[in-house]
Amino acid sequence: MASQSRKSITEIIPADILTLIVQEVKRIDFESLRKLRLACKGFNSQVEPLAFRSLTLISYERLPEFQAQLRRLASGQSPNSRWTKKLSIPFDSLAPLVRARYTTASATELRRHSALVTQRKHLVRAIGALHQVTSARYHLQDVEPFEEVLGALSRLPKLEHVSLSFPPKFHDKPLPLTSFTNLRTVELLYPPLFPSAVQSIQGMLVGSSPTLESLTITPYDWGRQFGWGEPPLDTTIIRVVGLETLLEGNEEEPPTKATTLTRLSGSSHVRAAPCFGPLQYAKLKKLALNTSRIALSAAVVQHLPSLTHLEAINGAAGNIDDTFWKELTRRRMRLELLRVWPLTTSAIDYLASYTGLKTLFLRDHENEVQVPFARERQLDRLVTVVLPRHSPTLENLWLDGSGEREYCVTEQMLEGVTGCRRLQHLWMLYYFPESENADGRPSPANGYFPPKSCPPLPAPRAPDAAHGMRERANAVDKQDGGSV
């Protein structure tokens, strides 16, 4: 009995059961998970990787905790140095370098000053001590020491995924982004397209061209987001940038030894050597853009030989050139996921040129300028020509045209939809002629119909049982008034 009492918990409970216990505690009460570390060495070995896998910097407004966290991280002895993979620096978590105009309370200013002292001493070292971080998310402010933070993040030896979110009124300041290299995922949310910012983004992308797999760029869009008008500073912002400009980098500067090979101190990041001919992003498969500020044309396709996922919101701005779709067709590129709006003839031609599409998302963005009624009448061709081409592979289909009649599926089109045997998720608007208003729009205007106006739809062809398509995907949800 005495011998058994000395056994470790890892000898009594199988490792897989112990893992399940720890994961359940994490789900129910994360704070208790940290306390569980103190039970014994066995529990500690299971708990530490989960408890410290992610880290969020505490806001400076919680001054004692903020100071303690930075000091602990900067020491290099924290479990975060061993286990943290994901780092998040939220909005307003760092102390601003200057006093806010609206601040009058002396206690608030004293707290900011005290936080600044600790921040200047420990912040960069605290970030640098997180040697295992592979993913970083930073909501930066131009009143923060964002240059130091970005520099510290770029020096993390295992960093592969970066998400940067910019404030609405970020002014024209140099962004130290060119020191980021060998990234697999880049997400830039609301960056202002000042010339200096464009140049920094160019360096960041070119430095990661051999490894980049996913790219999201949604520039800040004055006049659309937050309902604000055009401010004076917008006159210095580049209105529209071709994506090829960002991917090519600055070709006017001849390569030097310093720019050809740059090894960052303390990391394995190596800047890609210049190549002859178009710079290709051979691993880039996922691309998401706000095309009200980023333009797509034939010139960019040569840089994206492996593209399989494309999300282009705000397409109504007219910055997706027809040559882009024609070049995709010419190069026989096969997208597996496409989100775009509105449909154009060239886009339809491209979709009809190949097979293998898995997800098609046709919906206008919430901030997008409305497409004039009857601008495009492509749904009939989409349903009767394109969907049959992709019916063996299509799993997700979203058809939504803000209630416009030409974007509503009719009884004659249902055969094309129900012929997609692998569908798992379906959303569409069904058109009922007797529910039409005098202006030709479905009634009510949003395209959703009350249950009383929903006659029974024709029974769809039964899908293959092996594909497990849900029955309700082909039936009108009368509670939603005509949405499937």
Question: Counting runs of H as helices and runs of E as strands, what totals does the chain give?
Answer: 18, 14
Whether 454 is in a domain gets the answer yes
For the segment 57-77, what is each residue's pLDDT rounded down to a tens digit?
A: 999 999 999 999 999 999 999
Beta bridge partners of 53: none
Max mean pLDDT among 179-183, 258-262, 271-275 falls in 179-183
Whether 379 is in a domain gets the answer yes
Whether 101 is in a domain gets the answer no
Q: Own/partner pairs for 171-177, CB < 8 Å, 24+ apart? A: 171/142, 171/233, 172/196, 172/197, 172/233, 172/236, 173/142, 174/147, 174/200, 175/150, 175/200, 175/201, 176/147, 176/150, 176/151, 176/200, 177/150, 177/201, 177/203, 177/204
Whether 97 is in a domain gets the answer no
For the segment 141-182, what is each residue's pLDDT rounded down to a tens digit?
A: 888 999 999 999 999 999 999 999 998 777 777 889 999 999
Domain stop point among 26, 50, 74: 50
Whether 198 is in a domain gets the answer no
For 22-147, list the strands marked E by DSSP.
Answer: 54-56, 86-89, 135-139
Q: Assign 47 a pLDDT band (cuts: 50, 70, 90).
A: confident
Q: Helix or strand or coil: residue 34?
A: helix
- How many domains are there within the chain? 2
For the segment 185-206, what is each residue's pLDDT rounded down to a tens digit?
A: 999 999 988 888 899 999 999 9
The pLDDT value recorded for residue 117 is: 94
Whether 132 is in a domain gets the answer no
Whether 152 is in a domain gets the answer no
Whether 237 is in a domain gets the answer no
pLDDT at 368 over 70: no
Spatial distance between the Cα atoms of 303 and 322, rounded to a whole number of angstroms: 17
The pLDDT value recorded for residue 481 is: 37
Range of the domain at 37: 1-50
Domain stop point among 10, 29, 50: 50
pTM score: 0.79
